[in-house]
Structure 1
Amino acid sequence: MEDPLKGLVARPQALEPDQTGVLLVGLHGWMLSGRLWGPLSAELQNRWRLWCPDLPGFGAEPRPAGLQPSLASYGRWVSEACRRIDPDSPVVLMGHSLGGSIALHAAGSLGSRLRGVIQIAAGGGVYQPRAFARVRRGGSLFLRFRPGWLAGLPGTEAIRSPLVAEARAAQGLLACSTNRGAVSQLPSLTAALRVPSLWIVGSQDQVMAPRYVRHLAGYAPDHELAVIPDCGHLPMRECPRQLAALIDAWLERLP
């Protein structure tokens, strides 16, 4: 079987051999890429070490043949990638939207290295058959008819990620994350956390309503919840300074 981490493209930002301390790992959402974290990284990188990879099949990271497009497989990829790039440092996982579900799957594999989990616009745990069916249909239609040729034009970097995402990875993760079993598993994965967690959502998030973030956060044994006023589904882009302040203060309080 092909090594799922062969040719790992992304490397930690501001990570030098003699640096120590927490490694903050940013996991982007569906059809996005590591560049999503750019504005937030600019706010945090002078104080914290960051690694914001393209998940396999998205951005510049190819998906190896041995990596199945499922939440569990991607969670294992994240935990193994953390071991490969920095085997000793403590880790804080930071997931956005679908990346939050991947973070929950990765958490159990990191053992004592995991110091905390930050969930941004990530919630759920309530299965809604009709709503999820609409999401799957909409996602499939987009993948089928997206104008991929636009990605080759100059000045399209901001919209490139969804245009070049590998169809099988995108389709598989969407199907997996919206099936009854995966949705029903989120509360138990959250309840299994043995580290502090911070849950952040924008008050105007139209993709992941604050009530669903609050619902899932409630299963975490040691959690804090923060709502950013007048912010939508992409706080790292819409209000990076406010988001960075919340994350910075929380990281400082970690044991």
Structure 2
Amino acid sequence: MSESTNLREPHAQLVMAHGWLLRGRIWQPLQQQLEPQWSCWAPDLPGFGSAQRPPGLSPTLPAYGRWLAQEAKQRAAGVPLVLLGHSLGGSVVLHAAALLGDQLQGIVLLGCGGGVYQRRPFARLRQVGCALSWFQGDRRAARGLLLNSTQRRAVAGLPKLVSQLAMPSLWIGGGNDQVMQPVYVRHLAGYAPDHQIEVLPGAGHLPMRDQPAALAEVLIPWLQRLASPRS
């Protein structure tokens, strides 16, 4: 009876931030692996999917971090939080983390790494990305976030954000990820005071969609350790 009751009572509210030009539903296969034990909320970030960007919300990582922190607090209503971020959404999570205080139990970063500015690759990424953003509902939000996240200052500032994390972090890379290779995930994760790194063999850049069961096998034990009383 008690075990059944525990399964109906989420340990924490999981808030999932998607990557660039994606939308919240990319998390649905993983959500199916986690619910009902874990309550999941995967919104469309403002300007992506069906979510409109408020006029006062600048298309920058700090602004989106503030938005995510505010929405997560409201959604959780006092329940402990765990933030999950994929790719660009991981950078948003890093900006939100410092604003949530003790309510934030941990963060999970998927396909998120870097911290080393590379001029030519980033220039090509901006060129291709700005062309693709024509197909995005809010072109200013898409282009603004891409340009902001690939500027030298933003890239160089990631290690400092990571080094200031006051909660445990789980970093997950895909063994076959050609967008964010595991070496870059390991590099950025190394700045975190309390971190764990996992690489999913054979996974690409979207493990929450393509390998949700394998991802859940890594994620659930880590979440359970967060929820367990510490000695």
Q: Is residue 229 of structure 2 the alignment partner of residue 239 of structure 1?
A: no
| 1:75 corresponding residue in structure 2 | 65
| 2:24 corresponding residue in structure 1 | 34
Given that residues 176 and 182 in structure 1 are in contact (C-alpha distance below 8 angstroms), is that contact kept between their aligned partners in structure 2?
Answer: yes
1:141 to 103, 116, 131: 131
| 2:38 corresponding residue in structure 1 | 48
Structure 1 CA distance for aligned equivalents of residues 137 and 203 of structure 2: 26
Structure 2 CA distance for aligned equivalents of residues 47 and 20 of structure 1: 5
| 1:10 corresponding residue in structure 2 | none
SS of alignment partner, residue 199 of structure 2: strand
| 1:14 corresponding residue in structure 2 | none
SS of alignment partner, residue 31 of structure 1: coil
Given that residues 47 and 142 in structure 2 are in contact (C-alpha distance below 8 angstroms), is that contact kept between their aligned partners in structure 1?
Answer: yes
Structure 2 CA distance for aligned equivalents of residues 188 and 164 of structure 1: 31
Q: Is residue 162 of structure 2 the alignment partner of residue 190 of structure 1?
A: yes
1:213 to 177, 181, 185: 185
| 2:4 corresponding residue in structure 1 | none
SS of alignment partner, residue 92 of structure 1: strand
TM-score by length of 1: 0.84
The letter for the 2-side match of 1:128 is Q
The alignment covers a number of residue pairs equal to 220
Structure 2 CA distance for aligned equivalents of residues 173 and 19 of structure 1: 36
Structure 1 CA distance for aligned equivalents of residues 212 and 69 of structure 2: 26
1:21 to 1, 11, 18: 11
Post-superposition shift, 1:237? 1.0
SS of alignment partner, residue 106 of structure 2: strand
Task: Give the percent of matched residue pairs that are identical in Structure 1 and Structure 2.
Answer: 52
Given that residues 36 and 236 in structure 1 are in contact (C-alpha distance below 8 angstroms), is that contact kept between their aligned partners in structure 2?
Answer: yes
Deviating runs (4+, > 6 A) in structure 1? none
The letter for the 2-side match of 1:240 is P
SS of alignment partner, residue 35 of structure 1: helix
Given that residues 126 and 146 in structure 2 are in contact (C-alpha distance below 8 angstroms), is that contact kept between their aligned partners in structure 1?
Answer: yes
Q: Is residue 219 of structure 2 the alignment partner of residue 229 of structure 1?
A: no
1:165 to 128, 137, 161: 137
The letter for the 1-side match of 2:46 is P
**Which moves more between the two structures, 84-93 or 127-136?**
84-93
| 2:94 corresponding residue in structure 1 | 104
SS of alignment partner, residue 119 of structure 1: strand
- Aligned-CA RMSD value: 1.2
SS of alignment partner, residue 169 of structure 1: helix
User: Where do 5+ consecutive residues of structure 1 fail to align?
Assistant: 1-17, 145-162
Structure 2 CA distance for aligned equivalents of residues 74 and 42 of structure 1: 26
Given that residues 31 and 165 in structure 1 are in contact (C-alpha distance below 8 angstroms), is that contact kept between their aligned partners in structure 2?
Answer: no
TM-score by length of 2: 0.93
Post-superposition shift, 1:19? 5.5
